[in-house]
Amino acid sequence: MKNLVYVIMYHYVRDLEHSRYPRIKGLDVDFFRQQIEFLKQNFTVITMEELICACNGRYELPEKAVLLTFDDGYLDHYMFVFPVLKAQNLQGSFFISAKTLKEHVLLDVNKIHYILASTKMKDLLPSVLERMDYYRGSEYDYPDNNMLFDKYAAKNRFDDKETIFVKRMLQTVLPQPVRSMICKDLFQQYVGVLEENMASELYLTPDQTRLMKNEGMYIGLHGYSHCWLGHMPEKEMQADISLALDVMSEYVDRKNWVMNYPYGSYNESLLKYISSCGCKLGLTTQVKAADLSECSRLTIPRLDTNDFPPVSENYKCRGEIL
């Protein structure tokens, strides 16, 4: 089967045990090195340019093809990922939320990760619910806590239902100003670090991004503010993409770029819009091997790093390559 490719998704990659936040959900750098070894021995790592050509019928995928994708533009990727890939002569594709490059501020998505890594759910959940009550009814309105919990607290394969509830409330469900206020507040209470300090040690800088691109890495779009784009009013969604394109234009070809949907969130009008703006491929978080003969090029599924050794062998049930 030559139409199949495993697109692997990575987020944090660091020396977790010796880091300040060992509970952050990421891949340990030793596991990363072992995984790259495993992939080199069992798969062929392709480049994004090859995948784009394969989608256009101008390149034949090798047997057991994999593509490595890294989300969110973390400094981890420069410190730990890039040297390993460079030494092995492999390409990674890095997707950066443009706001982190342009404004050097800490995104809510990352505040939530650090809040979760710094507290216990038995303390966090009541804090979130209490703040939801506090802001409800004045300027902002949204359903009561029980109704929201029943609707959104559903565990997925990586998080329990309480964690998913907290994430969804703070990522997308509550009105944007309320989410931001609660994230800021909880970050100060539980993490207690200046946001600008955290931002400067968390994200890639323009210089690092430039250097990685010059050394053969692929840079793509991950929106501007890391929003659930599929839930946004059309005008706001378009503004987020167009701002991201402006900031990223040094690193991406505006006529031929790749989108990675934050949270895997997209809808038909987003697909239409990015297509009209020169987007050639879109990466989702749907979990399976990508069969190019059946999936749309704007909704390519991916697997997680945790689906591969040394963490697990889940990839074997998610495609038909082997």
Contact footprint for Zn ion (CB under 5 A): 71-72, 262
Q: Is 310 exposed, middle or buried (0-12, 13-18, 19+ CB in 10 A)?
A: middle
Give φ, ψ of 67 to 5 degrees. Answer: -125, 135
Taking the complex as a whole, the smallest distance from the CB of residue 126 to Zn ion amounts, in Å, to 28
CA distance 67 to 171: 28
Gyration radius from the chain CA atoms: 20
CB atoms within 10 A of CB 101: 21
CA distance 143 to 149: 10
Closer Cβ to Zn ion, 21 or 140, answer by number: 21
Closer Cβ to Zn ion, 71 or 240, answer by number: 71
Give φ, ψ of 301 to 5 degrees. Answer: -75, 160
Taking the complex as a whole, the smallest distance from the CB of residue 265 to Zn ion amounts, in Å, to 10
Taking the complex as a whole, the smallest distance from the CB of residue 111 to Zn ion amounts, in Å, to 13
Q: Is 24 helix (H, G, I), strand (E, B) or coil?
A: coil
Closer Cβ to Zn ion, 262 or 282, answer by number: 262
Closer Cβ to Zn ion, 43 or 78, answer by number: 78
For residue 308, which amino acid is it?
F
CA distance 16 to 28: 6
Taking the complex as a whole, the smallest distance from the CB of residue 285 to Zn ion amounts, in Å, to 9
Closer Cβ to Zn ion, 109 or 212, answer by number: 109
CA distance 76 to 15: 9
Taking the complex as a whole, the smallest distance from the CB of residue 208 to Zn ion amounts, in Å, to 18
Closer Cβ to Zn ion, 72 or 108, answer by number: 72
Taking the complex as a whole, the smallest distance from the CB of residue 226 to Zn ion amounts, in Å, to 6
CA distance 211 to 22: 29
Q: In the 8-state DSSP scheme, what is residue 224?
A: S
Closer Cβ to Zn ion, 88 or 286, answer by number: 286
Closer Cβ to Zn ion, 112 or 132, answer by number: 112
Closer Cβ to Zn ion, 39 or 283, answer by number: 283
Residue pair 303/6 in contact (Cβ under 8 Å)? The answer is: yes
HSE, side-chain direction, 13 A CA sphere, residue 57: 1
Q: Is 303 exposed, middle or buried (0-12, 13-18, 19+ CB in 10 A)?
A: buried
- State the residue for tokens 């987003």: 270
Taking the complex as a whole, the smallest distance from the CB of residue 133 to Zn ion amounts, in Å, to 29
Taking the complex as a whole, the smallest distance from the CB of residue 64 to Zn ion amounts, in Å, to 27
DSSP 37-75: HHHHHHSEEPPHHHHHHHHTTSSPPPTTEEEEEEES-BH
Taking the complex as a whole, the smallest distance from the CB of residue 71 to Zn ion amounts, in Å, to 4
